[in-house]
A and B are shown apart, each in its own frame.
Chain A
Amino acid sequence: MTTTEHLQRPPAEVRFADELARLRAADTAPRPPGWALSLDAARRFVVGDPAAGVSRKFVGDPSLVDRSLVTLATSRGLMLVGEPGTAKSLLSELITAAVSGDSTLTIQGGAATSEDQIKYSWNYALLVSEGPSTRSLVPAPMLRGMAAGAVVRFEEITRCPLEVQDSLLSLLSERVVAIPELPGTDGMVFAREGFNVIATANTRDRGVNEMSTALKRRFNFETVFPIADHATELALVETEAGRLLERSGVSVPQRRDVLEVLVTAFRELREGVGGDRLSTVMSTAEAVTVAHAVGLRGWYLRGEPGTAADVVACLAGTAAKDNAEDLQRLRRYLEQRAARRHGEQWVELHNARHLLPG
């Protein structure tokens, strides 16, 4: 194993190894079969427990975490749906790290995902020389998860072709994978206690509506919402953008009022004042990116913290992308909403509206 220092982003069980160890040591509550932690300890790992020195890692509703964990302990899979950038994948990573101690059994769904990336494939050199055997078998995450009794993550499941999605059906109901090429008992891999699936799907791509009813029935659905609380989101954007800026060599702190304008604008554009939402994703993750870009512009162009005018310039790229309608919505927002707000930073934002292209 390589040392974790040089990894861009080690998995959750490595990043928070000591928190997990501490929780495990103090965990006396009964554990569901096959789980590395009790439900209560797993919950505290995700939502935080300041008294035990466990940080809060997911800022959404705590009840969502409860529901998700309980679902995993039953025989149903967990389906996390929501807008892009609402930390679905982070939540699924944290939960698997807590429940199985390993968040790397992951299938990334996509148009090219095939069944052998889900169940198993073969090492063809060995297959040709030795014939089918456990040696020549290359287990994919689902098979490994079942054999080890671990939670498997299936990211962006709705982006897979429907027939590939449906290959999960028998796995989830029979809890067994048949490998007809292998003789004897090796030909049936039964799921051990602790095996389950967390799938994520975002509502902007092909939604979950196209999913077969049979597969839907095997999952409990949980919707992950953008951060409800303005102050929480602002704090998150501030820390995350601050971290990114530090890495980019920017040494001045960002203006808080500018960040506040940014986060407020994002929230209002996302929720769509009066039911008119931008078609582009305006998630917290995007807000962090824009905040980062604003800081970079201010520092490297003028040697000062970014201003509200920089926000407009950067928003044009993020919020409008190549969509003329969104650009127009953004312009309307700046013309009508920003003009009604008080405070220097809002005036600055309104006055910079001509920076929008077109």
Chain B
Amino acid sequence: MTATGGGRLEIIGVRHHSPACAQLVRERITALRPAFVLVEGPSDINGRLAELRLGHTLPVAVFSYLRVENGTRASWTPFCDHSPEWIALTEGHAAGADVRFIDLPAWHPAFADRTNRYADAEQRYADAVDRLCQEFAIDNSDALWDHLVETGPDGDLGERLAIYFDGVRGDATAGASDQAREAYMARWIRAALAEAPPGAGPVLVVCGGFHRPALLAAAERPEPGWPEVPAPPEGAVGGSYLVPYSHRRLDAFEGYQSGLPSPGFYQRLWDEGAESAAAWLMDSVVARLRRRKQHVSTAHVIAATTQARALAAVRGHRHPARTDVLDALVSTLVAEGLEERLPWTVRNPQLAGAHPVVAEMVAALTGDRTGRLAPGTPHPPLPAAVDAELAALGLDGRGPLALDLTAEDGLLRSRVLHRLRVLRVPGFERTSGPRSGRDPVAREEWRLTPSDLRLSALIEAAAFGATLADAAEHALAERVVEARGDVAVLASVLFDAVLCGTGALAGRVGPLIAAAVADTSDVPALGAALASVLGLWRHDRLLGAAGDPGLAGIVDAAARRLVWLLEGIRGGPQPADPGRLAAVVALRDAVRHAAGVLTVDRADVVAMAGRIGPEVPPDLRGAAAGLRWSLGEPAEPAELDVPWAPKIVGDWLAGLFALAREEVLTTPSLVATLDDLVGELTDADFLVALPALRQAFEFFPPRERAQFAELLLNRRGHQGDGRALLRTTVDPLLLAEAAALEHAVDEILTREGLLP
């Protein structure tokens, strides 16, 4: 917090959304009465800062987008009550200062890989943060931050911040994008120093602490002339507007690229102070657990409170900090080993698999506040864009509506309606239509009911994008993240993306789903998903998804994952699993029909099938043999090693037939072998093998079963129609009873010596 420029410049380096920093900014504004308050934020909305001061319920965000030829870039600049930037904007204005944003616009290439302007810069320089954590012997940067700043001693906060951020910055040179931003921000500071009238207050800058050392160095002398706001590239359409935001979206535990985690907790800290925040956290976790019928006794609460105080004392905190309370709760409430690390001790927590108590604790931290825009805030462009689109397509009426998806205009209208549906805008309800990629339905029916709730829903949906297509894409992408690897949910998101039009799949949704698929372990679900995605990719002319690169990426990810998972399946004899066999078929089809987009090739798959050994369930072993055969190996069916134990032969054959039906039918020698071996089974063994054998032959459609029967007849020198062999005129049960009776009679005759 050193002042330079002859005492006329003060730069406060902050962490975004930090209550302690917000308090510091507030104090400095009151003390300094600055002439200019310059804030890290999008300089292209400087003309519209009044909109921010209309009295919104926070959190809200400035949403910025830029549509160029190959897609739309979107980013958010979120504010909550305890954002230092927000305090600078509002209280700077109240103190009579000239307040301006000084950073590059969100669409600038310097933000190319960011969707959250106020994501922590430290995350990009993790090594330095790790070093600091090691020095202080603290788990991670969030705990270190709490330790040094939020619960640190009173006074000297500026000094401590400077030490922290200088440590983070270290000797590292910033990346190119940070350098570009810093150079631009420095120009604003130099201009403000030149413009500030003599005798007026100083220039106060509020920026991410990471940038502070560079800005101090670059803003030594005044230089008149405000910098220009860069114009978007030619032909691109862009803009920024205010949208409601929420604690959930702010939270680092939920999304990637966030700032300070646990906004619910810090909201309390800001509103009521550290002591009360700790008490609130303890209370709300206990209340949540009790609501979930978890046993939390008063003794537990006393023990946790003591533990939290003791931890705070050991760590030198005046009041229990966030991690002190969390650590205390987990120490006292979890009486078993944990499967996953505690989310607040690691940098990028995975919540899947967290202990239920831990999951409740994290949920309590997130908070549940949702922002609301003040009345009179200019509407974001989405509602108007939607109205125009609906009017142009004649969808602004009311009542039932039937669409023919084979007609170009029907498809167009259907996509618009589906985008509204995935954004949960009320009044657009689909009553019938295709339910999956394989559904041969080309007609959709909708019911439109105009509603007053539409506008507010669209304003909320505008947080996802400025046009219907963009907003739907981002909403779908968020659903993918929330699916946490559940294949069924992913499949439904995927089909929604197809219904909404292909832009979403090729954009963010496809790669996200591909990444999620690469993590799943559910073989049958994955197989079903691969089959249907492959079908869409190959054939879907109706919805226009055929050949979509997003789908191709998912096909590849699913096929690769299946190769990995199939080799890992283990187990003794067990009934054939149709889902698993279908997965092998889907993999085979992907190799056959989508080789061009796969990163595993035929040889990999054949080699994998070759490694499936004897300790694997029989159906999978049969399927592996069938997989190799149907991919052209082995050339000689004699190499097929059919296991003849009656308990497993049927399941093994089910696997083989599922994969290599055609190959079996065109290989009379194999039919002969099968015939011989079935013939050699004793009656009892045959009955054991029968159910599984029946299931195996189900894989042949009736015509092929007849073909098979014909081959059998030919082999025994009979002529005739194979179909006759398949049709019995008598109830099979009766036949079985007759056979059993005959057998019993035979036995008696043999026993009495009446048979030779």
Residue of B nearest to A325 (CB): B570
B383 to chain A: closest CB distance in Å? 44
Contact among A49, A61, A66, A228 with B311 in the assembled complex (CB-CB below 8 Å): A66
CA distance A234 to B544 in the complex (A): 50
Contacts of B613 in A (CB 8 A): 328
27 A-B pairs with C-beta separation under 8 A: A39-B313, A40-B314, A44-B137, A47-B137, A48-B137, A50-B135, A56-B137, A61-B345, A62-B138, A63-B323, A63-B342, A67-B328, A67-B330, A69-B314, A70-B311, A74-B310, A221-B334, A221-B335, A221-B337, A223-B337, A223-B338, A274-B519, A328-B615, A332-B564, A332-B567, A335-B567, A335-B608
Report if B404 contacts A (CB, 8 A): no
Residues of B within 8 A of A208 (CB): 336-337
| Contact status B337-A70, CB under 8 Å | no
Encode contact with B along A227-261: 1 for CB under 8 Å, 0 otherwise: 01100000000000000000000000000000000
Which chain B residues lie closer than 8 Å to A324 at the CB level?
A: 615
A229 to B130, CA, bound (A): 10
B122 shortest CB reach to chain A, Å: 17
* Stretch of A168-176, A212-220, A307-315 on the interface side: A212-220
Most B CB atoms within 10 A — which of A70, A74, A219, A335?
A: A70
**A62-B139 in contact (CB<8A):** yes
Q: Annotate B314-333 by CB proximity to A: 1 below 8 A, 0 otherwise.
A: 11100000010001101110
Q: Is the CB of B327 within 8 A of A67?
A: yes
Cα-based distance from A227 to B310 in the complex (angstroms): 26
Name B564's contact: one of A56, A223, A336 (CB within 8 Å).
A336
Beta-carbon contact of B137 and A276 below 8 Å:
no
Contact B336 A39 (CB under 8 A): no
Q: Is B565 an interface residue (CB 8 A)?
A: yes
Residue from A44, A49, A63, A217 in contact with B335 in the complex, judged by beta carbons closer than 8 Å: A217
Q: Which of B322-364 contact A (CB under 8 A)?
A: 323, 327-328, 330-332, 334-338, 341-342, 345-346
Q: Does A82 belong to the interface (CB within 8 Å)?
A: yes
Bound complex: CA of A48 vs CA of B135, how far in Å?
9
Residue of B nearest to A48 (CB): B137
CB pair B143 A63 closer than 8 Å: yes
B346 touches A228 (CB 8 A): yes
Which residue of the partner chain, among A56, A220, A329, contacts B331 with CB atoms under 8 Å? A220
Q: Say yes or no: is A207 at the interface (Cβ < 8 Å to chain B).
A: yes
Q: Whose C-beta in chain B lies nearest to the C-beta of A276?
A: B568
Q: Closest CB-CB distance, A198 to chain B, in whole Å?
A: 14
Chain B CB within 8 A of A225 CB: yes
Complex: A88 Cα to B306 Cα, angstroms: 25
Q: Which residues of chain A are within 8 angstroms of B334 by Cβ–Cβ distance? A: 221
A73 to chain B: which residues have CB within 8 Å? 310
B345 contact from A63, A332, A335, Cβ within 8 A: A63
> Does A81 make an interface contact (CB < 8 A)?
yes
A76 to B568, CA, bound (A): 43
Question: What is the number of contacts between chain A and chain B, taking CB atoms within 8 Å?
Answer: 108
Q: Does A270 contact B (CB under 8 A)?
A: no
- Tell whether A275 is near chain B: CB-to-CB under 8 Å: yes
Complex CA gap A208/B328 in Å reads 21
Supposing A74-B307, A228-B346, A274-B519 touch, asked if A66 and B337 sit within 8 A by C-beta, the answer is no
Residue pair A82, B337 in contact (C-beta under 8 Å)? yes
Within 8 A of A (CB), among B232-271: none
Of the residues A39, A40, A222, A225, contact of B341 by C-beta under 8 Å: A225
Bound state CA distance, A325 and B139, in angstroms? 36
- Once the chains are docked, how many angstroms separate the CA of A274 from the CA of B307? 36
Please encode chain B, from 550 to 586, with 1 for each CB lying within 8 Å of some chain A CB and 0 for all others: 0000000000010111011010000000000000000
Distance (whole angstroms) from the CB of B123 to the closest CB of chain A: 16
Evaluate contact between A336 and B563: CB separation under 8 angstroms.
yes
Asked if B341 and A228 make an inter-chain contact with CB atoms under 8 angstroms apart, the answer reads: yes
Q: A-contacting residues of B (Cβ < 8 Å)?
A: 130, 135, 137-139, 143, 303, 306-307, 310-311, 313-316, 323, 327-328, 330-332, 334-338, 341-342, 345-346, 519-521, 561, 563-565, 567-568, 570, 607-608, 611, 613, 615
Given contacts A66-B311, A332-B567, contact A74 B327 (CB under 8 A): no
The minimal Cβ–Cβ distance linking A125 to chain B, given in whole angstroms, is: 44
Interface string of A36-79 (1 = CB under 8 A from B): 00011001100111100000100001111011011101101000
Within 8 Å CB of A219, what residues of B? 335
| Alpha-carbon gap, A267 to B342, bound state (A) | 19
Among B143, B564, B570, max chain A CB count under 10 A is at B564
Given contacts A74-B306, A221-B331, 19 further A-B contacts (CB under 8 A): A48-B137, A56-B137, A61-B341, A61-B345, A63-B323, A63-B342, A67-B330, A69-B314, A70-B331, A71-B331, A82-B337, A208-B337, A228-B341, A273-B564, A274-B520, A274-B565, A325-B615, A328-B570, A336-B608
Residues of B within 8 A of A336 (CB): 563-564, 567, 608
A116 to B315, CA, bound (A): 40
Q: Are B323 and A274 in contact (CB under 8 A)?
A: no
Interface centre among A64, A216, A221, A324 (most CB of B within 10 A): A221
Cα A295 to Cα B139 in complex, Å, equals: 33
The smallest beta-carbon distance between A33 and chain B, in angstroms, is: 14
Could you tell me the distance between the alpha carbons of A275 and B344 in the complex, rounded to whole angstroms? Answer: 22
A:144-191 near B, CB below 8 Å: none
A220 cross-chain contacts in B, Cβ below 8 A = 307, 331-332
What separation, in Å, do the CA atoms of A346 and B135 have in the docked complex?
34
Evaluate contact between A275 and B521: CB separation under 8 angstroms: yes
Complex Cα–Cα for A45 and B568 (A): 45
Chain B residues closer than 8 Å to A43, beta-carbon distance: 137, 314
B574 nearest CB across to chain A (Å):
16
Q: Are B327 and A63 in contact (CB under 8 A)?
A: yes
Q: Chain A 324-346, CB within 8 Å of chain B: the 1/0 string?
A: 11001101100110000000000
How many angstroms from the CA of A1 to the CA of B154 in the assembled complex?
52
A331 and B615 contacting across the interface, CB-CB below 8 Å: no
Q: Which residues of B contact A69 (CB under 8 A)?
A: 314
Complex: A356 Cα to B334 Cα, angstroms: 41
Cα distance, A332 to B615, chains bound together (Å) = 14
Picked from B138, B313, B331, B611, the residue with its CB within 8 Å of the CB of A335 is B611
Separation in Å of the B137 CB from the closest CB of chain A? Answer: 4
CA distance A70 to B327 in the complex (A): 11
8 Å CB interface, A2-44 against B = 39-40, 43-44
B568, A332: Cβ atoms closer than 8 Å: yes
A76 contacts B303, C-beta separation under 8 Å: yes
What are the residues of chain A within 8 A of B342 when measuring CB–CB? 63
Structural contact, B139 and A61, CB atoms closer than 8 A: yes
User: Residues of B contacting A129 with CB < 8 Å?
Assistant: none
Bound-state Cα–Cα, A49 to B135, Å: 8
* Distance A76 CA – B313 CA, assembled complex (angstroms): 18
Pick the contact of A222 from B143, B310, B331 — CB < 8 Å? B331
Q: Taking the nearest CB of chain B, how far is it from the CB of A273, in angstroms?
A: 8
How far, in whole Å, are A64 and B328 apart by their CA atoms in the complex? 11
Residues in A neighbouring B563, C-beta threshold 8 A: 336
B86 to chain A, nearest CB (A): 31
- Find out whether the CB atom of B346 lies under 8 angstroms from the CB atom of A66: no
A203 at the interface (CB under 8 A from B): yes
CB distance from A209 to the nearest CB of B (A): 7
**B337 / chain A contacts, CB cutoff of 8 Å:** 81-82, 201, 203, 207-208, 221, 223
Q: Contacts A40-B314, A73-B310, A76-B303 given: A63-B139 contact, CB under 8 Å?
A: yes
Nearest chain A CB to B131's CB is how many angstroms away?
11
Report chain A residues within 8 Å CB of B345: 61, 63-64
B residues near A56, Cβ cutoff 8 Å = 137
Q: Kindly state the separation between the CA atoms of A178 and B613 in the bound complex, as whole angstroms.
A: 61
- Chain B residue at minimum C-beta to C-beta distance from A213: B335
CA distance A49 to B138 in the complex (A): 12
Pair A335/B607 contact, Cβ less than 8 Å: yes
The 10 A-B pairs at the shortest CB distance, nearest first, are namely A81-B337, A223-B338, A47-B137, A62-B137, A70-B310, A220-B331, A39-B314, A332-B567, A216-B335, A275-B521
- Quote the shortest CB–CB distance from A234 to chain B (angstroms): 14
Bound CA–CA A162/B577 (angstroms): 41
Q: How far is the CA of A353 from the CA of B117 in the complex (A)?
A: 47
- Residues of chain B lying within 8 A (CB to CB) of residue A225: 341
